């Protein structure tokens, strides 16, 4: 401070001289300084410990979630066809019975196999599998696979004349194309 400022300060506002301050007051002031200096450090260390603990817990939770998801994915892959197989098992049983009784058949074998075939179709329809009709339609390479061509003057060229194997849609998406024979114009003689 400058001398002019010292002179203008009133005596009652001046700080105490070193002789007037007791040792206890010095110790208290030093302790306050240490507490005020350590408080941010201690607080930040405690916060760091809490954050580290939260980090470890979050990491463990994520690891558990990852493992659980992997187990669920594996179980889904293993048992995804369980319901489909449950629907097909009675059909398999009926076909086995039909084969056993084929030798003793009195005309009911065809009826039994037809009923079994219908049971199989209904079971597969529950899972979204439906056949589509190809015969008489215009050839569509997205739904049909041409096995050959037949000359015909009864239908326009590129019309499906014969269906060799049914095509199927699974949930409105092509599962298997129909194998077909398509018409072509008769050769000019």
User: Is residue 188 included in any domain, yes or no?
Assistant: yes
User: Is residue 174 included in any domain, yes or no?
Assistant: yes
Instruction: Beginning with the edge strand found earlier in the chain, give each strand of the sheet holding 178-184 in spatial order.
Output: 144-151, 178-184, 160-165
User: Is residue 39 included in any domain, yes or no?
Assistant: yes
Count of CB atoms within 10 A of residue 57's CB? 10
Structural domain total, the chain: 2
Q: What are phi and psi of 29, to 5 degrees?
A: -65, -40
Tens-place pLDDT, residues 162-178: 999 888 888 888 988 99
The CATH number linked to 165 is 2.30.22.10
> Is pLDDT at 11 greater than 50 in this prediction?
no
Q: What is the pTM of this model?
A: 0.52
Sequential DSSP letters for 53-89: HHHHHHHHHHHHHHHHHHHHHHHHHHHTTHHHHHHHH
- Find the domain containing 69 and state its range: 21-79
User: Is residue 162 included in any domain, yes or no?
Assistant: yes
Residue 148 near residue 183, CB atoms below 8 Å: no
User: Is residue 65 included in any domain, yes or no?
Assistant: yes
- Tell me how far apart the alpha carbons of residues 111 and 97 are, in angstroms, rounded to a whole number: 13
Residue 88 near residue 119, CB atoms below 8 Å: no
Tens-place pLDDT, residues 91-144: 877 777 777 777 676 667 777 788 888 888 888 888 888 889 999 999 999 999
User: Is residue 67 included in any domain, yes or no?
Assistant: yes
Rounded to the nearest 5 percent, the helix, strand and coil shares of the chain are: 55, 20, 25
Count of CB atoms within 10 A of residue 163's CB? 19
User: Is residue 41 included in any domain, yes or no?
Assistant: yes
Tens-place pLDDT, residues 12-52: 444 545 555 566 676 666 665 555 556 888 999 999 999 99
Residue 175 near residue 169, CB atoms below 8 Å: yes
- Helix (H) or strand (E) segment spanning residue 98: helix 82-100
- Tell me how far apart the alpha carbons of residues 118 and 122 are, in angstroms, rounded to a whole number: 6
User: Is residue 33 included in any domain, yes or no?
Assistant: yes
Exposure of 106 by Cβ count < 10 A (0-12 exposed, 13-18 middle, 19+ buried)? exposed
Q: How many CA atoms, within 13 angstroms, populate the side-chain half-sphere of residue 29?
A: 6
- Helix (H) or strand (E) segment spanning residue 118: helix 108-125
């Amino acid at each position: 401070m400058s001398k002019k400022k010292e002179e203008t300060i009133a005596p009652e506002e001046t700080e105490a001289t070193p002789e007037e301050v007791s040792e206890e007051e010095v110790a208290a002031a030093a302790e306050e300084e240490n507490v005020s200096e350590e408080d941010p450090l201690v607080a930040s260390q405690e916060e760091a410990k809490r954050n580290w603990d939260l980090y470890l817990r979050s990491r463990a939770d994520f690891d558990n979630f990852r493992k659980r998801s992997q187990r669920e994915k594996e179980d889904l892959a293993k048992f995804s066809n369980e319901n489909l197989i449950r629907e097909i098992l009675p059909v398999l049983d009926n076909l086995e019975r039909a084969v056993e009784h084929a030798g003793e058949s009195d005309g009911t074998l065809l009826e039994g196999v037809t009923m079994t075939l219908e049971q199989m179709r209904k079971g597969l329809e529950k899972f979204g599998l439906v056949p589509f009709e190809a015969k008489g339609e215009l050839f569509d390479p997205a739904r049909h696979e041409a096995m050959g061509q037949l000359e015909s003057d009864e239908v326009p060229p590129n019309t499906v004349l014969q269906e060799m194997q049914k095509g199927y849609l699974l949930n409105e998406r092509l599962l298997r194309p129909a194998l077909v024979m398509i018409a072509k114009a008769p050769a000019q003689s």
